[in-house]
A and B are shown apart, each in its own frame.
Chain A
Amino acid sequence: MSFLIGESMTGGYGSADILHDCTIGVERGEIAVVVGPNGAGKSTAMKAVFGMLNLRQGRVMMDGQDITALSPQQRVHQGMGFVPQTSNVFTGMSVQENLEMGAFIRDDDFLGTMEQVFDLFPILKQKRRQPAGELSGGQRQQVAVGRALMTQPQVLMLDEPTAGVSPIVMDELFDRIIDIAKLGIAILMVEQNAKQALNIADKGYVLVQGANRFTDTGEALLADPQVRQSFLGG
């Protein structure tokens, strides 16, 4: 069984289900990528795994433990970190304060972790006193990822970390994400840039209308003509 897995999740925001028997998971030190058309329920699936959605069926397991009943805050304590798709930084607070808030649950000295984040994203060190709301889109995403890393999570969940950034910055962000995975952190991410993302993915999930359509290694999905045809633009 995977290190983190949302199994046969069924549920939605109100009475109508968005997810239908959807399963996504990831191993330690690996990258799993969720792709699919807009409105497929990718973000919803991520929220479900993070406990921000009431599931009618299915369960979420982490490290062999059933965490379905835990609140998002409790999951943070369990070692999960989440970067939402939108409004994922504290815009009015400085870069450094954003990172400090990321480390809010930690009682130990987190300056070492902050240095690690600055090593990963040097631009943040330079802009540490600037309000996060005054950064460029790409820099803001780095703050968002950095904030989530401050808890030293075992799992990092990213919802479209490269949304709205240029191809060069995107490649750079992907490189950093690979670096993070190499630290032994499990990375579960949603990506709109499906080809590039599947390229670095150990595992890929194609979601359509809240259900799993294809599940395989990143490589295999990229090679699958059906997947290429319908979801990767040929």
Chain B
Amino acid sequence: MVSTTPATRAPAAADPGPLRPPWSARALIAAGLLVAAVAVTWLTFWWIGLSPASLAAGLDDTVRLLRRMWPPDLPGAGDVASMIAETLLIAVAGTGLAALASVPLAFVAARTHKGPRWLRPPARVVVVLTRAVPTLAFAILFVRIFGLGPLAGALAVAVHSVGMIAKLLTDAVEETDPVPAEAARACGAGEVQVAVSTVLPRVFPALTGIVLYRLDINIRASAVLGVVGAGGIGVALQTALGSLNYHRAAGIICVIVVLVLLLELLSVVVRRTVLRPTAHRRTAALPAGRARHDVGWDRGRVLRVAGAVATGAVFLVSLWSLDPDPGRLSGAWPNLRAVLSGMWPPAFSGELLMAVLESLLMALGAAAAGAACGLVLALLTAVNTTPWRPLSAVVRVLLVVVRGIPDLVYALLFVAALGLGPYAGFLALWISSTALAAKFFADSLEQLDPLPHEALTSVGARQWQAFAAGIWPQFVPSFTGNGLFVADLALRESVVLGIAGAGGVGYLMQESIATLRYDTTAAIVIAIAVVVYAIETLARIARRHLL
């Protein structure tokens, strides 16, 4: 009964049936994305003239620039403090204004909205448009209207943030249980009353989270607003670079990096402490001996009220710091009218479309190249794939620092080192995409199921085989999704890098405003919005079909 050879005996089936898997839409989309990524990267390299020789020359020039920047020259402590304070206040004012504007907008844009129906489409358009046009593009426009200074910066931050806050808040509003709202309507409440008393309290935690998240992004954005004269620490950077004072520029970049790193640290701490699910929630029972109608003061309520008052006070201080005196605001009115009336009709031109195409190529090429490099770095840093733990720690720290420097700063540096043009913009985007992709990829690699890899090790597979068969297939969806997200972010950056002279449509935008050709400005804004929205939509569709 027991055979002597231990080899597995299998029944010799005459016809094994199909041995080739049927084609699936998923495989086709994945293959299409891969081919598109390779093609776009190749096209980008050709467009900007990237070659090993030009890379080597670029490296030389960059090293020379870095030598000229060393040692960094820090401004005095008082200057640093006031520059940082202005940057933070711009971010706070902008985020606060955006939050205030987003609440009614989100309620109107929500599918559950029961008020006047015609309000919804325009609300949606505002959300899409403001989200698609980058902060710096608004900043250029607002500097024209309101003059140099933090007021233009804060308004630019506010307008761009409205899009994202309102979109996320709309989702939250749509997800709330409709029954309490129905009940309030049944009691005869008007739509505004329903929104304020039944929906707002329930989306408030979500709103707080969204606003904090956006504040984090906005502080980073505010650090470079000064490059277009919209206040904050970027003004000093622009001045230093403009006067070829590279030691000072290096010092200011150091300040920005430290600021961003501190912020990163702070947000980690906040996420650990505030957003951790509370271990014990106090029950709602009233303390004994307190009248029914008396809400009373306990520790939680004191903290909440104090927090709200402090937040409000900081917001008011930030608004006041923008110096919005009536004379200045009324002076802006004619400018605004001139800009708006000059925008119609938008003037599209071949030059403009080529510039948009250049931005698109820069972004997609940089994102593809960045995803490839980021993947290698992620494999070196993720705990389950790293060949050597200490290396992982070093790369990790390095990536945080690289991510801490805004794209526009890289662009300014590369322009200073290599001269004007898309080459500098591509390198800037490549570096930031690599660092960003490496972080996303490493995070998602660490969340994969380790068991298949272990099972394949126990099968006797080599390390690379176990990776290719056990880890890579699991990783494909998050690789694609995060890769597309990086491309999306790179595109939003690439349309403004032209401000630093680093290629793309940003330069035309700045020029059109400087020469009062607002019809061109309008065309550029529309083109940017369309391209960004189209790429975002494509990415969303691809992601949905791949996961």
* A and B associate in one complex: no
